[in-house]
Amino acid sequence: MVFVENKMMRARTVFAVALLLISVFGVSGCSNEVKVDEKFVDLYIELRIAEMTYGRESPMGRLVRQDALKAAGYTREQFLAKTDEILNDERQWVPFQKAVTARIDTLLEQPTEKAPPAPAPKPSRPPTKKFKPSSEKGGDD
């Protein structure tokens, strides 16, 4: 009987230790999640759209990108440093790319305002009388 109780006690101890380890690793696993800066995601997308719209080298594109950086509170160097930090850390890169993709998807899904229906086309000149052959006029045959 003592042997059975010892075995039960040992099983409970092993179970408690296993539960403790699972909970410790589970909590520490959650702390490894990286929070994505949504403002930076929006800025990243805005800069990429400007680059695609105006080109990488155009003066207008450069002005648009500078305005976007200024509005977000970044200098070009700060933006590049933050981007490099994300690119070089897989824990940040994957969630960042998922956030960028999700944001682009929401931009693409947004309904556009429906334009009023186009007016019916009007003829550019007054209608002409149709030519009727003489046989239809009831003439001499």
Question: Which residue type does 100 have?
Answer: V
Q: Can you give the pLDDT at residue 26? A: 43
* Most distant CA atoms of the chain, gap in Å: 132
Q: Can you give the pLDDT at residue 119? A: 72
Rg (CA), the chain: 35
Q: Can you give the pLDDT at residue 27? A: 40
Long-range contacts of 48-55 (CB under 8 A, 24+ apart): none
Region class of 118: left (phi > 0), else alpha (psi between -120 and 50), else beta: beta
Please identify which residue in the block is written with the tokens 């070089």.
88
Domain membership of residue 43 (yes or no) is yes
Q: Which range in 16-20, 72-76, 126-130 is most confidently predicted, on average pLDDT?
A: 72-76
Domain membership of residue 17 (yes or no) is no
> The domain containing residue 85 runs over which residues?
36-109
Domain membership of residue 88 (yes or no) is yes
Domain membership of residue 94 (yes or no) is yes
Q: Are 60 and 54 in contact (CB under 8 A)?
A: yes
Residue 10: band (very low, low, confident or very high) from pLDDT cuts 50, 70, 90: low
Domain membership of residue 85 (yes or no) is yes
Domain membership of residue 77 (yes or no) is yes
For residue 49, is pLDDT > 60? yes
Domain membership of residue 74 (yes or no) is yes
pLDDT digits (tens, 9 = 90+) for 55-104: 999 999 999 999 999 999 999 999 999 999 999 998 999 999 999 999 99
Question: Which residue type does 66 have?
Answer: Q
Count of domains for the chain: 1
Domain membership of residue 76 (yes or no) is yes
